[in-house]
Every structure is written in C-alpha cells, then in structure tokens.
Structure 1
C-alpha cells in the first residue's frame, strides 16, 4: 500500500514539473517576440524621415507579446505614412510596397520598399510685401537674395518654413512687431510634378519705444538706472534691445530680480510703454575669506561693500587683507558716469605693507582715477597717485615721497570669467614722477603685458603670456623705491623660483630689484572631464639693470588645474633649468591668470 501511495505522489510531482517546464517554455518564446523594420530605396534624410514615420508604436509589443490586431492596422497604414513622410522633401508620387513577413517564434519583419519618384519643382515663386514697411531695404533684399526657395528648386517644406520665419523675424527686428502673412499658399500639381508658392507679408505699423517706467521703490535714482538702457523713447522697438537691457541690469549685480514688460496692448500711436520691475539686493555686505597661496602664504580677507552709498548709486569699499607676506587696508569710493556703465571716477586710499625675502615696503597712499570705457573690452584710465613709502632693500633703508601721474590702457576679449575657451588680454601702462613736484626723484616707466588662449584639437589649449617693463631715470644715482623696482619669480611669473626672488643683487648678494623686466611663458593644457585640466609649462624671465647684459631664469614643470566658480585652483610643480644646482618647487595658486 505504501508503495502505491509513493507512486501516486511521484506521478503528481512529475506532472507538476512537466506543466512548469511547458509554462516556462511559453514564457521564453513570448519573450522572444519582436518586430523589425527594414526600409530600402531611399537614403539620408529621406530614409530618416521614413523610419521616424514608421516608428513602432509603444504598446504594439508589450511583455513579450505582439498585439496582432494593432499589428494589422499598423501594416495597413504604413504605405500612406511613407508617402506623407516624403512630401516635405518634394516627392508627391512615391510608390511604396510595405508587407509583413513572419518568422519563427513570433518574429516579424516589416519591409518597406520605396520608390520616391520624380521630385516636384517650383515653377513660380511669388513673395509680396504690403503695409507701411513694404519698401524697407532689408526686407526687399531678403526677398530678392536670401529667401531659400526660388523658381526651379525642388519644393522643400522645411526651407519654406525657414524662409517664412526668417522674413517675419526680419520684419520684427525692424519694429514691425505685428507683421503677419495674409497669404501663404502652396499649390501642387502631382501629375506634372510642378508647384506654385505664394506669400504675402503685411508688415503692419512700425512700433517704437514709448515711455519707460522704473519702479518708484527701486532705491536708485532714475538717472542712475537709465545708464543701463540700450534704447530710449522714440527708438525703433526691438526685442533684442530689451534683452540687452535685461542682461545689463542682471550683470550689474545690484538686483535680485529683473523683469521688463513691453505693454504692447496699451501702445498709443504705435509707441510701446516699457515697464521695468527691479528687486534690489542688500545694500551693504560683509564678505570674509580665507585662503592659501605659495606667493602669499596663509591669508585672511574681509571686504565691506556698500553698493548704493547715499542711495545715489555710488559704491564704497573697504578691503582688509592679512597674509604672511602682505597686509593691507584699502578704501575706495566710486562715482559712476551716467553715460556709460563701464566708466567711472574712483577715489582710493590706504596702507600696504609687504615683506618678502628681497625687500620690506610700507606705503601710505591716496589716488584718483578716471576710467573710460570704449566698448568691446577696451578701457583707458588716467590716474594720479600720491604715496609715502618707507622701504628696506638690501643694505638700503630709506623713505620716499612720490606724486605719480599715469595712464593705463587694456583690452580683454575672454568671454568667460571662470574657464574661457579662447581670447586675449593686452595691457599698457605709462607712469612717471618729477623731482620737486611732490617727489624725491624723477623717472619714467613703461609697462606692457599680453596673453592669449588658443584652442587646439583634442580638447587641448595653449596659453601664451609675456610681460615687459623699462625705466628711464634723469639721475642714474638716485634710489628707486621698492614699489617701483622690478622683481620676479613666483606663481604668476617664473615658477620654480620663490616669490620676488629674482633680480639684480648688491655686493652682499642681496636681491635688490632692477630697472627693467622681461617675462614669458607657454602652457599646454589638456582638458580632463568638465572641470579639470592637466598642463605642462615653460617659464622664463628676470629683472635686470642694463638692456645689453642680462640673463633669464628658466623653469619647466607640470600642473593639475581645477576650475571652480571662484577661479582656477592650480597645483604646479616646477624644476629650475638655469642654475647649477636645480631644485623642484611646488606652487599653489587660486584665481585668474587671464
């Protein structure tokens, strides 16, 4: 009896195993169900458009199963979908053979054999301008020379839409903001493969900027805000001018939010009122900071800024720096110019102390500077600086007083402040003093610098830089204060040497600085990921007293650069090349070199 029950149980288990295997085989077979599309007879953009039109609908194959009802409907519609996909390219008489082939295990293949036939050509293109702007030269020229379709061309709907859009945009840019097409007709005769195109653009009236309204609670006087406008009342209305004004207000760093509303619906005699809404940032800020660099050592900074002093748009800064090498406190007050946002008059004053291995300098100064912008990154400034300096250089321990008038000119084209891809910077400064005119010595100095960033293939860039300066003295035996002598060496000049450690030496071997300066460098960087770069570099330069007899220090090395919002953080290792006992030096710097 026991044997009978055992056999029954064994039979039940066997049947369950068989059912399970069959079920799994069905599941595997279902999972292998598929539908493949094959298109032939067309290539390029025609093929791409056909394949997009025949894209397999979501849900036709689901959970390994094919919906056969949906599949039959999909195959029936395939021929017309292909024909419709070819019409935008001018093929109106395409012949299409679409059929379904069934393979084993629910494998299906949809073959679409396409014969596009002859293209449809334009036998007539008629574009007419009406309205007050019908005689605008820009619009007339576009119609005659730039519209992408002419008689004899293959009718392409994408070029037709592009031409319409560009023509309408050109009208809007001229102030015809309500321009519209009153006629836009394409007539196709597929029997003879010919088409006609008819367009009529009614420009409507030309709109101009009307009254410009700033918020009463903006905290800034209206005259100050008007300097950010790129248009004035009566100018031709354009959205581009509104965009430039919005960018200027945002870039001023004075406002949390900026919104500009053209009130076209309330325009009177085609003059559009402009409403500008502004939410000012906090007027006063206090920004502490800490950092480290091999030139400066550990440092602490504290910046106090009032961006709207006296609520008239003036700016007052107090900048405190405490570092191992340099300690300073500077004050500046800026009077903005109302005709240009990049021009200003600045009054400065402060105290600077710097102690390096080559010198100690203490300066009490005041300065007035007139800054004038000429657009496209060009800037010219005239300044006059009065300073009293006590300094120790080598065996010299002196005090000097100088009135230094000067001129600075610069041009900068780098498009990004954090990680530019290309651009250049040029700078020139001329300064001098005259003995007995609040100065202890007479001299003239000319300083120039240039750098350029050039992109190369393979995410590689090359950065070239150079700097030079020269001094002319009326009396060669008069001492030059430390602040007007030239030294070099360090993170931003000749790496591989300590900060300000290069220059002429006295009889005791102390570096005392020179009258002339020459620095050059080349750096090749390979971008790694989004914010990193690996670099190799070569630096050379020195300070010297005679133009006929000098020797340049040289060094080369490698670097790792990390690009952040506060500027690149660079770790460089350089090896000296121009000394008998060369050594390696680590350089850490934060900030911009361009």
Structure 2
C-alpha cells in the first residue's frame, strides 16, 4: 500500500499544473448535508495540511494525506459512520492534487437505550417515566455525536429543573457495534437529595430596602426548588427600572439541600434618566420627544415617568407614577395627561387621568398579560374656522379589561409566532347635548397577529405578517 501511494504521489506531482491548488479535497457521493458540512469544516480547520508549500516533497504529501484520511474517518464517526471506505486518488477535475473519495457505508442507528435515574428521584416514578419518555435519541434514531451530547445535557437539565438542584451525570457510554451498524447508549444520573428554598441572600443593594427585592420573589421558605420560578424571579427584577443586572441562583450543595438560601446578586440601575428623540413623518412632518424617568422618589421605590411630544398636528404632556410590584406580581400605576390636536381645522383639547393594574405571567411557550384600567377624561372640541361658535365639551368615565397572549420568538422584533388579544370595556359619557341616561356605552375588540418567515427567501429579512381585527361599540341613541 505504501509503495502504491508513493507512486501515485510521484505521478501527480510530475503532471500537476503550475498554478497553486489545494493538496486534497473530499467527495462523498450521496452524503447528507450534515456530513458535507463536517467535511468542509475539517478542511477549513486543516488549512496548514491542505495548503501546498513550495518545499513540499513526496514524503510530506504522504504524511499529510494519511493524517487527513484519519481525520476524515474520525469526523465521520461523529456522524454515525463507523466503517467508511476512504480512497486517495488523483483529482481528475484538478480542483486539488488529490481526491479523497469516500464511500460512507451504512449509518449506525441507536439499538438500545438504558437510562438509569437513581437517588431520591426514585421516589417519583411518574416523573422518572416522563424524563425517559422525553429522551431525545430514542431507539432507531440515527446516531450523531452532537445529538448524543445534547440529549445527555438536556436530560440532566430536566432532572435539575425541579427538586434536584445537585443532580449530576455519573456515567455515560456509547458502545458501537460497527458490524451491525448499531450503537448502545447508557446514561446514569444521580439526582441527589430533593431541595427546598430558604431565605433570600441579597448582594449589591445600596439605595433600596430589602423589602423591594422581596416583592419580586414568587417563593416562600420551604417551597420545593423550581428553576423556572427562580428564572421568573430573575426576569421580573431584570425588567424593572430598579436594577441593571440580576442573577438568581441556589448553591447546589447536597449537604445543605433543606431550605437552601436563594442567592440574589444584583447591580442597581441609575435612578435618573433623560432621553430625547427626533423624527420625521410624511403625514405630520418633524417631531420631537423628551422623557424623564426617576426610580427613587423621596426615598421610596416609586418610578416617575414624565414626557412631552410635539409634531405638526399634535402636542402631548404626560406623567405616570409606577408603584413597586405587589407580592403576586401585579403592577399598579397612576397617570395624567394633556393633549392638543389640530386635524383639518378641528382643534381638540383632552385632559385625562387614570389608574391601571397589569399582571404578567410566564408560561412555557407563551406570555400572558392582563390589564385592568379605569380612566376619567374631558374633551373640548371646536372648529378653528368658526371661532364664534362655542365648542363641544364631553366628560367620559370608562373602564377596560385587556387579555393578551404572546407566543413569539422575540418580543421587540418578532419573526415567528402569534399574538392574540381581547379587550372589553364600558363607560359613561356626558356632554351638553345629551342626558346621562342616554350616554352609556360598551365596546369589545379582538386582534390576532401571525408572524411567519417566508421559506423561499431569506427568513431573517422576509416575514409574512397576517392580522385580523374585530371590534364593535354599543351605545344608546338619543334620537
């Protein structure tokens, strides 16, 4: 074999064109995409081997080709091909000096799976059965090393997700039978003892009291350990105006599993923030906005947001006071505003005040938001072309309830998923032309939005957005 390979190298070297080419390339006919990707990455990682040097002799070529062949066999094994045939021959297409022609042979599949879950989790047979049923590399599936590694990591993460923070991977084995093209898998996980959570251990508080952090905490001492609860705790604190960064964790020490302290490491955000914005619209021309936010008022963790905005047809001034969250996660807010609009010579002045309660709940695949609002509003309308005609004043009191479900890949720039919302409200309007009895109204509104990437074009830049809206207002007619 060595003599044949040396002769082949001498023959190719004697007839090679003068232009610089790669030493070798791969060709695996009928290979799946992941195999071609693996071989391409191998060539990219082995640039020092496939590059042709000026002083490259036949002995160096032989050594490099053998190493490249061994590396290809090892890479193919990670994709489930344990008995490939790799032949080295001259590249007749002259894309490289040599062609490593690969006959993949049959791909190995999973022939047996043995998942051993021991420790305190043995007292939860139903959960153990659910974990085994969720195993991601079942019998009959093609074996791939990357999928094998991911399946082990996710199984361990699922065990650690609830009760067993100190679970660990004790042993894992993939036993290959190359003749039968089969792989037997074995994974052993020790769950350790069940954990319960204890008091908060807070690091980083400077301006705020401990009670503010407690308001975000969904757990109570003695509750079962649940990583999703801790992530929700972290998310709620991170999305508040009080903290710049938050990390919530429990030390996975099996010796201190009972009432393990919840460690909260945080960095407080700046209490004051000013922002400005400029823009232009073809409908309303240039516009300007300014916003001031202060998250600590007279030593209390109340957040004040005050803003102004102006364009060619509209000017608005508003101020909102956001209260710290309730223990159940509800957020209360109070607000006032003044708005002036001038649209087709109809000038409207609107004063308003309101209160709202918003609650956000995270599910596994969606976010549910509910909002209850109560508002008082006075509106004065007059025509600029008839200044002698008195304006019309109306007073309105109304309440609304909104339910929104978001199941999208990104909140700020969704590209896949859907949003469903529904609103119902009722109110009373009083003006100088109508009686109070004849001014009761109710209304409903529903909206559904679907985001779907287009498969035949770049899905990151082209998204189909479909929207359906339905709504109706019911009001008494005085006539």
Q: 1:193, 1:132 → 2: CA distance?
A: 36
Among 64, 68, 71, the alignment partner of 1:74 is: 64
Q: Secondary structure at the match of 1:74?
A: helix
Alpha-carbon distance, 1:364 to partner: 4.7
Counterpart mapping for 1:464-543 below 5 A? 464=467, 466=469, 470=473, 472-473=475-476, 475-476=478-479
Q: 2:464, 2:123 → 1: CA distance?
A: 49
State yes or no: 1:141 paired with 2:134. Answer: no
Q: 2:316, 2:200 → 1: CA distance?
A: 44
Q: Could you report, residue by residue, the CA deviation over 1:466-498 in whole angstroms, capped at 9, with x for unpaired residues?
A: 57554634744xxxxxxxxxxxxxxxxxxxxxx
Q: Could you report, residue by residue, the CA deviation over 1:106-133 in whole angstroms, capped at 9, with x for unpaired residues?
A: 97324445474795874x6443221111
Residues 178 and 204, structure 1, Cα contact 8 Å, conserved in 2: yes
Q: 2:395, 2:93 → 1: CA distance?
A: 97
Name the residue aligned to 2:382: 392
Among 336, 343, 347, the alignment partner of 1:356 is: 343
Residues 327 and 353, structure 1, Cα contact 8 Å, conserved in 2: yes
Q: Aligned in 2, Cα 1:469/1:144: closer, same or farther, shift over 3 Å?
A: closer
Q: Aligned in 2, Cα 1:89/1:332: closer, same or farther, shift over 3 Å?
A: closer
Q: 2:440, 2:104 → 1: CA distance?
A: 82
Name the residue aligned to 1:211: 199
Q: Aligned in 2, Cα 1:469/1:299: closer, same or farther, shift over 3 Å?
A: farther
Name the residue aligned to 1:420: 414
Alpha-carbon distance, 1:168 to partner: 1.6
Q: Secondary structure at the match of 1:378?
A: strand
State yes or no: 1:59 paired with 2:62. Answer: no
Give the TM-score of the pair, scaled to structure 1.
0.61
Residues 168 and 180, structure 1, Cα contact 8 Å, conserved in 2: yes
Q: Secondary structure at the match of 1:413?
A: strand
Q: Could you report, residue by residue, the CA deviation over 1:57-115 in whole angstroms, capped at 9, with x for unpaired residues?
A: 433434455343332123445665555455456655x3746345499999732444547
Give the TM-score of the pair, scaled to structure 2.
0.73
Alpha-carbon distance, 1:314 to partner: 1.7
Residues 329 and 360, structure 2, Cα contact 8 Å, conserved in 1: no
Name the stretch that deviates more: 425-434 or 394-403.
394-403
State yes or no: 1:371 paired with 2:349. Answer: no
Name the residue aligned to 1:591: none
Counterpart mapping for 1:114-153 below 5 A? 114=103, 116=105, 122=111, 125-136=113-124, 137-143=126-132, 146=135, 148-150=137-139
Q: Secondary structure at the match of 1:430?
A: strand
Residues 172 and 187, structure 2, Cα contact 8 Å, conserved in 1: yes
Q: 1:466, 1:120 → 2: CA distance?
A: 49
Q: 1:441, 1:392 → 2: CA distance?
A: 25
Q: Secondary structure at the match of 2:256?
A: coil
Q: Secondary structure at the match of 1:171?
A: helix
Q: Which runs of 5+ in 1 are unaligned?
A: 1-25, 477-594
Alpha-carbon distance, 1:271 to partner: 3.9
Q: Could you report, residue by residue, the CA deviation over 1:311-363 in whole angstroms, capped at 9, with x for unpaired residues?
A: 322223333345443444434333344135453142x3454433333533334
Name the residue aligned to 1:311: 299
Q: 2:273, 2:373 → 1: CA distance?
A: 29
Alpha-carbon distance, 1:31 to partner: 3.8
Residues 215 and 326, structure 2, Cα contact 8 Å, conserved in 1: yes
Structure label with greater radius of gyration: 1
Q: 1:98, 1:453 → 2: CA distance?
A: 55
Q: Secondary structure at the match of 2:47?
A: coil
Alpha-carbon distance, 1:161 to partner: 3.6
State yes or no: 1:381 paired with 2:366. Answer: no
Name the residue aligned to 1:461: 464
Residues 327 and 352, structure 1, Cα contact 8 Å, conserved in 2: yes
